[in-house]
């Protein structure tokens, strides 16, 4: 059985080395991996996404605090989870009514990461990481977080079925959001993603024909660029206003 509060192997956040300093500001995005991944694995899997958004954004990847115990025959990858929703310390997005073991440790890790490496303009997540970002957006809407972020990007997102999380979903979320999901996703079916989308007042939605991965081609690529262009303009406008106040 894995230790829910074990984070002894937690590594520091990793900046996206593809984002060289070009002398202009960039959006800073904290990226949350899926279940059984970690920050380094997730970074490696989304090379196309990183390349696409590098014009506008710098990505920072962190690993969840809880180690997933490998089943027989599994690889040696350091699989991680943001929380577990079954008593045997496993997680399934389709599990309804379960606990959220280790969620408090995850909240503490994120708070520490924001303190040490933030502030962050946006949060981006895939699968369980996207579920987490949805919870954080709902918590920010209610004023529960000690930090703030300005937008969210979801890939294969969904609502948490954990009982302790249900109360977070009782009001609409005003945060700008982009939701990307696969029509053929069998792990997180599109109905689950749509349930999360319905929480947001003005969501931007992009559907692709594939399955459970971070898509980044064709119209999906354009959706990322359009969404981040708007957020980038907001960043520049804010900086201009700040300079005007100083002068």
Contact criterion met (CB below 8 Å) for 195 and 159? yes
Distances (CA, A) of 42 to 11, 146, 173, 198: 14, 26, 27, 27
Q: Is residue 5 part of a domain?
A: no
Angle between helices 190-197 and 128-141 (to 10 degrees): 20
Q: Is residue 3 part of a domain?
A: no
Q: Is residue 1 part of a domain?
A: no
Distances (CA, A) of 206 to 43, 144, 163, 243: 21, 29, 29, 36
Q: Is residue 106 part of a domain?
A: yes
Question: What pLDDT score was predicted for residue 13?
Answer: 65
- Burial profile 38-54: b = 16 or more Cβ within 10 angstroms, e = fewer: bbebbbebbeebbebbb
Tell me how many domains the chain contains: 1
* Domain housing 140: 14-246
Question: What pLDDT score was predicted for residue 103?
Answer: 98
Q: Is 185 helix (H, G, I), strand (E, B) or coil?
A: coil
What is this structure's pTM? 0.88
The number of angstroms, rounded, from the C-alpha of 169 to the middle of its chain's C-alpha atoms is 17
Residue 155: CB atoms within 10 A of its CB come to: 30
Q: Is residue 7 part of a domain?
A: no
Contact criterion met (CB below 8 Å) for 65 and 106? yes
Which residues belong to the active site?
127, 185, 212
Question: What pLDDT score was predicted for residue 37?
Answer: 96
Question: What pLDDT score was predicted for residue 76?
Answer: 53
Contact criterion met (CB below 8 Å) for 175 and 141? yes
Provide CB contacts within 8 A for 61, sequence distance 6+. Answer: 13, 14, 16, 31, 33, 39, 40, 42, 43
Question: What pLDDT score was predicted for residue 227?
Answer: 97
Q: Which two tokens stand for residue 111?
A: 């708070």
Q: Is residue 93 part of a domain?
A: yes
- Separation CA 221–CA 240 (nearest Å): 28
Task: Give the torsion sign (CA, 144, 148, 150, 153).
Answer: negative
Rounded to the nearest integer, the mean pLDDT of the chain is 89
Which regions in the chain score pLDDT beneath 50? Answer: 1-11, 16-21, 72-75
CATH number, domain of 237, equals 3.40.50.1820
- Separation CA 127–CA 189 (nearest Å): 11
Q: Is residue 8 part of a domain?
A: no
């Amino acid at each position: 059985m894995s230790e829910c509060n074990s984070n002894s192997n937690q590594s520091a956040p990793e900046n996206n080395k593809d984002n060289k300093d070009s002398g202009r500001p960039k959006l800073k995005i904290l990226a949350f991996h899926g279940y059984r991944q970690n920050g380094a694995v997730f970074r490696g899997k989304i090379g196309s996404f990183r390349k696409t958004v590098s014009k506008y954004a710098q990505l920072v990847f962190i690993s969840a605090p809880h180690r997933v115990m490998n089943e027989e025959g599994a690889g040696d990858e350091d699989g991680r989870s943001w929380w577990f929703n079954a008593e045997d310390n496993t997680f399934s997005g389709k599990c309804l009514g379960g606990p959220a073991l280790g969620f408090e440790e995850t909240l503490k890790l994120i708070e520490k990461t924001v303190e040490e490496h933030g502030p962050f303009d946006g949060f981006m997540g895939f699968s369980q990481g996207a579920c987490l970002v949805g919870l954080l957006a709902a918590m920010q809407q209610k004023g529960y977080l000690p930090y703030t972020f300005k937008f969210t990007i979801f890939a294969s997102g969904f609502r948490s079925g954990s009982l302790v999380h249900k109360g977070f979903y009782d009001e609409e979320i005003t945060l700008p959001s982009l939701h990307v999901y696969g029509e053929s996703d069998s792990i997180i079916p599109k109905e689950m993603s749509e349930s999360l989308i319905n929480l947001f007042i003005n969501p931007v939605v992009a559907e692709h024909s594939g399955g459970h991965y971070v898509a980044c081609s064709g119209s999906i690529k354009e959706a990322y660029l359009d969404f981040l262009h708007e957020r980038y303009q907001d960043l520049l406008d804010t900086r201009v206003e700040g300079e005007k106040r100083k002068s």
